[in-house]
Chain A
Amino acid sequence: MEAVYEWARVLYQDTGINLTFIYDSYDRNRLIDGFLMTVWLSVICLGLSVAIGVVGAWAQGARSAILRRCVAGYIEFFRNTPPLVQLYFFYFALGSIMPTTTNRFGLPEPLLDNFAWAVISLSFFAGAFNVEIFRSGIEAVPESTKEAAEALGYTRLQTYLEIVLPLAFRVCLPSLNNNLVNLVKTTTLAYAIAVPEMLYQANQIWSDSVNVPEMMTFLLIAYVFLVGVLVWGMHRWERSMRLPGFGS
Chain B
Amino acid sequence: MARWMKSLAAAAGIAALASSVAVSGASADAISDIKGRGKLIVGVKADYAPYGFLDSSGKIVGIEPELAQDVADVLDADLELVPVVSSNRMQFLEQGKIDLMIATMTDRNDRREVVQIVDPNYYSSGTNILTKGNFAKWEDLKGAPVCGIQGAFYNRKTSEEFGAEIVAFKGTAEALTALKQNRCVAFVYDDSFIVSRLGDPDWEGWKMPLPTIDDAPWGLAVKKGEDAFAMLMSGMIVKWHVSGRILELESKYGLEQTPFAKKMHQAFLDFNPSIER
Asked whether A212 lies within 8 Å of B91 as measured between CB atoms, the reply is yes
Asked whether B182 lies within 8 Å of A204 as measured between CB atoms, the reply is no
C-alpha spacing A212/B90, complex, angstroms: 10
Q: Mark A203-234, 1 if CB is under 8 A from B, else 0.
A: 11011111010000000000000000000000
Given A194-B167, A194-B168, A200-B168: A207 in contact with B86 (beta carbons within 8 A): yes
Asked whether B113 lies within 8 Å of A110 as measured between CB atoms, the reply is no
Asked whether A207 lies within 8 Å of B87 as measured between CB atoms, the reply is yes
Given A194-B168, A209-B110, A210-B114: A204 in contact with B185 (beta carbons within 8 A): no
> Could you say which residues of chain B place their CB within 8 Å of the CB of A212?
91
Q: Is A150 an interface residue (CB 8 A)?
A: no
Asked whether B144 lies within 8 Å of A105 as measured between CB atoms, the reply is yes
Q: Mark B87-131, 1 if CB is under 8 A from A, else 0.
A: 100110000000000000000001101100000000000000000
C-alpha spacing A194/B181, complex, angstroms: 14
> Could you say which residues of chain B place their CB within 8 Å of the CB of A192?
169-170
Q: Is A240 an interface residue (CB 8 A)?
A: no
Closest to A108 in B: B182
Q: Which of A80-98 contact B (CB under 8 A)?
A: 92, 95-96
Q: Mark A95-122, 1 if CB is under 8 A from B, else 0.
A: 1100010010111111001100000000
Q: How far is the CB of B180 from chain A (nearest CB, A)?
A: 9
- The number of residues on chain A lying at the interface, defined by a beta carbon within 8 Å of a beta carbon of chain B, is 27
Option from A103, A108, A113, A200 in Cβ contact (under 8 Å) with B150: A200
Q: Which of B119-152 contact A (CB under 8 A)?
A: 132-134, 144, 147, 150-152
Instruction: Tell me if A's interface is mostly helix, strand, loop or mixed.
Output: helix
Q: Is B183 an interface residue (CB 8 A)?
A: yes
C-alpha spacing A194/B159, complex, angstroms: 15
Asked whether B153 lies within 8 Å of A208 as measured between CB atoms, the reply is yes
> Could you say which residues of chain B place their CB within 8 Å of the CB of A203?
87, 150-151
C-alpha spacing A51/B124, complex, angstroms: 54
Interface size class of B (residues with CB under 8 A): 20 to 34
C-alpha spacing A191/B149, complex, angstroms: 12
Asked whether A107 lies within 8 Å of B167 as measured between CB atoms, the reply is no
Asked whether B167 lies within 8 Å of A207 as measured between CB atoms, the reply is no
Given A107-B132, A110-B181: A204 in contact with B160 (beta carbons within 8 A): no
Closest to B175 in A: A194
Closest to B144 in A: A105
Asked whether A100 lies within 8 Å of B182 as measured between CB atoms, the reply is yes
C-alpha spacing A204/B154, complex, angstroms: 11
Closest to B86 in A: A207
With A107-B185, A204-B155, A212-B91 already in contact, 9 other A-B pairs whose C-beta atoms are closer than 8 Å: A92-B177, A95-B183, A107-B133, A108-B182, A114-B167, A192-B170, A200-B168, A203-B151, A204-B156
Interface of B with A (CB < 8 Å)? 86-87, 90-91, 110-111, 113-114, 132-134, 144, 147, 150-153, 155-156, 160, 167-170, 174, 177-178, 181-183, 185
Selected A-B contacts with CB under 8 Å, 15 pairs: A92-B177, A92-B181, A103-B185, A106-B134, A192-B170, A194-B168, A200-B168, A203-B151, A204-B156, A207-B153, A208-B155, A209-B110, A210-B110, A210-B114, A212-B91
A-B CB proximity, top 6 nearest: A207-B151, A194-B167, A210-B114, A96-B181, A108-B182, A105-B185
